Structure 1
Amino acid sequence: MTRFHDRFERYFNRLWYEQARPGFGWRALSGLYGMAARRHLARDYGKPPGPVIVVGNITVGGGGKTPVVAALSSELLSAGWRVAIISRGYGGRTSDEPFQVLPADDPKQCGDEPLLLARTTGCPVWVCRKRGLAMHAAFDDGADVVLSDDGLQHAGLPRSFEICVIDEARGFGNGQLLPAGPLRQPVARLDLVDLVLRKQAGGSASVSGLPGQAFAIEPGQAYRLADRQPVDLPSDQALDAVCGIANPESFFATLEHLGLYFRCHPFPDHHVFDSQALASLEGPLIVTEKDAVKLESLEGLPETLVLPVRASLPRSATQPVLEHVRNFNST
Structure 2
Amino acid sequence: MRARLARKLEQTWYGSARPGALLKFLEKVYYLGFRIHQRYQLARRATDLEHSAIIVVGNLTAGGTGKTPFVIRLVELAREAGFTPGVVSRGHGRLTNEPVSVHADSDPAECGDEPVLIARRARCPVQVDSEREQAVRLLFGQGVNLVIADDGLQRSRLPRQLEICVVDRQKGAGNGHLLPAGPLREPLSRLGDIEIVVEHCGPGVLPDEAEASLMQLQPGRFTRLHGDDSCTAEGLRSQGGKIHAIAGIADPQRFWKTLAELGLEFEAHPFPDHHVFRMRDFSGFPAAEIVVMTEKDAVKCSRLALFNAWFLPVSAKFSEPLEEKLRSALHKMSKAANMKLT
* Alignment-mate amino acid for residue 289 of structure 1: E
Q: Which runs of 4+ in 1 moved over 6 A?
A: none
1:305 aligned partner: 310
1:267 matched to 2:271? The reply is yes
C-alpha contact 2:11 2:17 (8 A) present in aligned 1 = no
Distance 1:122 1:223 in 2: 19
* Alignment-mate amino acid for residue 84 of structure 1: G
Distance 1:229 1:302 in 2: 12
1:53 matched to 2:55? The reply is yes
* Alignment-mate amino acid for residue 328 of structure 1: A
**1:11 Cα shift?**
3.7
Q: What are the Cα deviations for residues 300-331 of structure 1, in whole angstroms up to 9, with x where unaligned? A: x3610110001112342222332342233134
1:27 matched to 2:24? The reply is yes
Identify if the C-alpha distance between structure 1 residues 316 and 303 changes in structure 2 by more than 3 Å, giving closer, same or farther.
same
Identify if the C-alpha distance between structure 1 residues 135 and 212 changes in structure 2 by more than 3 Å, giving closer, same or farther.
farther
C-alpha contact 2:247 2:270 (8 A) present in aligned 1 = yes
**1:179 Cα shift?**
1.1
What is the correspondence of 1:127-166 to structure 2 with a 5 Å cutoff?
127-166=128-167
Q: What are the Cα deviations for residues 13-52 of structure 1, in whole angstroms up to 9, with x where unaligned? A: 33322244210111122133335556859x8665535211
Distance 1:19 1:273 in 2: 33
Which consecutive residues of structure 2, in runs of 5 or more, have no partner in the other structure?
Answer: 205-210
Query: Which is further off, 317-326 or 148-157?
Result: 317-326
Aligned match for 2:9, one of 9, 12, 20: 12
* Alignment-mate amino acid for residue 280 of structure 1: G
Distance 1:323 1:94 in 2: 37
Question: Normalised by the size of structure 1, how large is the TM-score?
Answer: 0.89
1:66 matched to 2:63? The reply is no
Identify if the C-alpha distance between structure 1 residues 37 and 303 changes in structure 2 by more than 3 Å, giving closer, same or farther.
same
C-alpha contact 1:130 1:156 (8 A) present in aligned 2 = no
1:218 matched to 2:218? The reply is yes
Distance 1:94 1:137 in 2: 19
Identify if the C-alpha distance between structure 1 residues 16 and 171 changes in structure 2 by more than 3 Å, giving closer, same or farther.
same
C-alpha contact 1:285 1:302 (8 A) present in aligned 2 = no
C-alpha contact 2:51 2:161 (8 A) present in aligned 1 = no
Distance 1:173 1:50 in 2: 35
**1:258 Cα shift?**
1.2
Query: Which is further off, 163-172 or 47-56?
Result: 47-56
Distance 1:93 1:143 in 2: 27
**1:272 Cα shift?**
1.3
The number of residues matched between the two structures is 318
Aligned match for 1:289, one of 292, 295, 304: 295
C-alpha contact 1:37 1:186 (8 A) present in aligned 2 = no
C-alpha contact 1:94 1:129 (8 A) present in aligned 2 = no
Distance 1:319 1:278 in 2: 44
Q: Secondary structure at the match of 1:53?
A: strand
* Alignment-mate amino acid for residue 219 of structure 2: P
Q: Secondary structure at the match of 2:266?
A: strand
Query: Which is further off, 236-245 or 134-143?
Result: 236-245
Q: What are the Cα deviations for residues 36-92 of structure 1, in whole angstroms up to 9, with x where unaligned? A: 556859x86655352111110000111000000000001111222100011000111
Identify if the C-alpha distance between structure 1 residues 28 and 199 changes in structure 2 by more than 3 Å, giving closer, same or farther.
same
Q: Secondary structure at the match of 1:156?
A: coil
* Alignment-mate amino acid for residue 102 of structure 2: V
Q: Secondary structure at the match of 1:100?
A: strand
Query: Which is further off, 157-166 or 316-325?
Result: 316-325
Which consecutive residues of structure 1, in runs of 5 or more, have no partner in the other structure?
Answer: 204-210
Distance 1:164 1:130 in 2: 21
Query: Which is further off, 104-113 or 233-242?
Result: 233-242
Distance 2:54 2:271 in 1: 33
Rg comparison, structure with higher value: 2
1:231 matched to 2:231? The reply is yes
1:201 aligned partner: 202
Identify if the C-alpha distance between structure 1 residues 315 and 81 changes in structure 2 by more than 3 Å, giving closer, same or farther.
farther
